[in-house]
Every structure is written in structure tokens, then in C-alpha cells.
């Protein structure tokens, strides 16, 4: 039995905000059964909210479910919080999981600011379904994946949905390095301290300008041309 804290609204998983509840309810409309409701909500967050790491990582709004929904874009932590908020809004216990990952295909500009291809405190959502916790990663939207040659992360509610180690062309993509555990809400202050230590240049930028998805597509095309050249 999941703890009631995984159903309650929180500072960042603000499932009691009317817009979050309405988004979840609308996404689940027409579902055949409870599992189908959850799956529809997952895909609504994955594909309805554009993945964008070019945000101010010092701004708490970018970590909060309702703000990510209002913006229509977010990075992994914000999108995971939104999925958790939507799940709680429809009565499904949810919590947040974190891990450090190495992105072997990180964009050139992100690497310039981060000075690393290791992303600490990458986030996913854990949903309590059929008596157990299942991992769901709503980060990369389908449109982005199709344009840059990544495999979409699907979710069936029964098996863990985590980043693929390789992309569709067989290039190394994501590598999980360390497990940070699970939390009932975003541990914002802890993450901020770690981000400032790991990425001082990125944090000082207060968000990169430009269109991440367009740059990611251009970078992928350049990589393909170099490999074929």
C-alpha cells in the first residue's frame, strides 16, 4: 500500500492546481480502464510538453508541475513533476526518482556551458500501479525523438521506462551512472546546491537563449554528415 503522501499535493508536485487536474482529466477522457487512464496521461505529458533544457535552472518555477504545464515546455525534472502531479490528480500514487546519467549525444552548446556530458539529478516518475512502483520517463517528446533519431520512451504501465543506451543508428546515448533514490517532492534546495557545484557556468547563464530542438536537429545532421563523409 502506497503512503498517502504520494497522493497529496506538494510544493512542486502541485496536483491541487485546477489546471493540472483539468489537464490530467482531459488526457484520460475516453480511457477504457484505470491503466489506460495512466497511459494516456503519460503520453500527454511526454508529447504535449516540449522538452527544453534551455531554461533558468535556478528558477523554482521550472521545477513546478503547474508552471511547466503553463509554459508548455520543460526539462526532465519539471516534466517528471508534472507527470507525478497529473497522476496524483487522478488518484494514482506517484513519486519522483533521480539518477546521474551520461548523455553521449549531448548538444555542443550544452557541453560548452556544462563542461561535462554527465547530467546529475536526472529525474523520472515512479507510479504505483497494480501493487508496485513502475518507472516512467516522460522527458523527450516524440517530435524531438523522430527528428534527431532517438528511440521514443514508451510506457506500458508494467515495465520500467528508462532511457535507451543507444539511438536508432546504434550510437551510444544514455548511460545510468548513479541512483539518487526516490522522493515525495522535488528536493529543490539539494538539487540547486549540486547544480551550482557541478555546472557553475550553466547556472550563471540563468538559461540559454535559442531553440534547443532546432539546435539539436542541426547538431544531429552535422554528426551524421561527418560519419558518412
Along the 229 residues of the chain, how does pLDDT read in single tens digits?
668 999 999 999 999 999 999 999 999 999 999 999 999 999 999 999 999 999 999 999 999 999 999 999 999 999 999 999 999 999 999 999 999 999 867 777 777 888 888 999 999 999 999 999 999 999 999 999 998 888 899 999 999 998 888 778 888 788 999 999 999 999 999 999 999 999 998 898 887 777 777 776 655 444 443 333 3
Question: How far apart, in whole angstroms, are the C-alpha atoms of residue 85 and residue 184?
Answer: 11
Q: Is 152 within a domain?
A: yes
CATH number (domain holding residue 125)? 3.10.620
Element (H, E) at 133: strand 132-136
Q: Which helix (H) or strand (E) holds 225?
A: helix 212-228
Structural domain count of the chain: 1
Residues paired with residue 101 on neighbouring β-strands, in sequence order: 119, 176
In angstroms, rounded to a whole number, what is the distance separating the alpha carbons of residues 18 and 218?
38
Domain around 10:
4-224
Q: Retrieve residue 23's grid coordinates.
A: 489537464
In three-state secondary structure terms, 190 is helix
* Residues pairing with 83 in the sheet: none
Query: How far is it, in rounded angstroms, from Cα 191 to Cα 202?
Result: 14
Residue 15 domain-assigned?
A: yes
Q: Domain for residue 229, yes or no?
A: no
* Alpha-carbon span 223 to 157, nearest angstrom: 35
Query: Residue 49 and residue 68: Cα distance in Å, rounded?
Result: 8
Do 134 and 159 meet the contact criterion of CB atoms below 8 Å apart? yes
Amino acid at each position: 500500500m502506497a503512503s498517502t503522501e504520494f497522493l497529496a499535493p506538494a510544493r512542486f508536485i502541485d496536483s491541487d492546481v485546477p489546471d493540472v487536474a483539468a489537464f490530467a482529466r482531459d488526457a484520460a477522457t475516453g480511457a477504457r480502464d484505470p491503466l489506460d487512464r495512466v497511459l494516456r496521461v503519460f503520453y500527454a505529458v511526454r508529447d504535449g510538453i516540449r522538452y527544453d533544457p534551455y531554461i533558468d535552472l535556478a528558477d523554482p518555477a521550472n521545477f513546478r508541475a503547474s508552471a511547466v504545464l503553463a509554459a508548455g515546455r520543460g526539462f526532465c525534472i519539471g516534466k517528471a513533476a508534472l507527470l507525478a502531479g497529473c497522476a496524483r490528480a487522478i488518484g494514482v500514487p506517484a513519486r519522483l526518482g533521480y539518477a546521474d546519467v551520461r548523455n553521449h549525444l549531448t548538444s555542443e552548446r550544452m557541453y560548452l556551458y556544462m563542461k561535462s556530458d554527465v547530467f546529475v539529478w536526472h529525474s523520472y516518475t515512479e507510479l504505483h500501479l497494480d501493487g508496485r512502483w513502475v518507472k516512467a520517463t516522460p522527458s523527450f517528446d516524440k517530435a524531438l525523438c523522430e527528428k534527431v533519431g532517438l528511440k521514443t520512451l514508451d510506457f506500458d504501465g508494467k515495465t520500467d521506462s528508462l532511457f535507451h543506451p543507444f539511438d536508432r543508428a546504434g550510437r551510444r546515448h544514455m548511460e545510468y551512472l548513479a541512483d539518487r533514490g526516490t522522493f515525495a517532492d522535488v528536493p529543490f534546495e539539494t538539487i540547486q546546491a549540486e547544480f551550482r557545484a557541478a555546472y557553475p557556468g550553466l547556472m550563471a547563464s540563468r538559461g540559454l537563449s535559442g531553440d534547443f530542438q532546432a539546435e539539436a536537429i542541426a547538431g544531429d545532421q552535422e554528426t551524421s554528415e561527418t560519419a558518412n563523409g
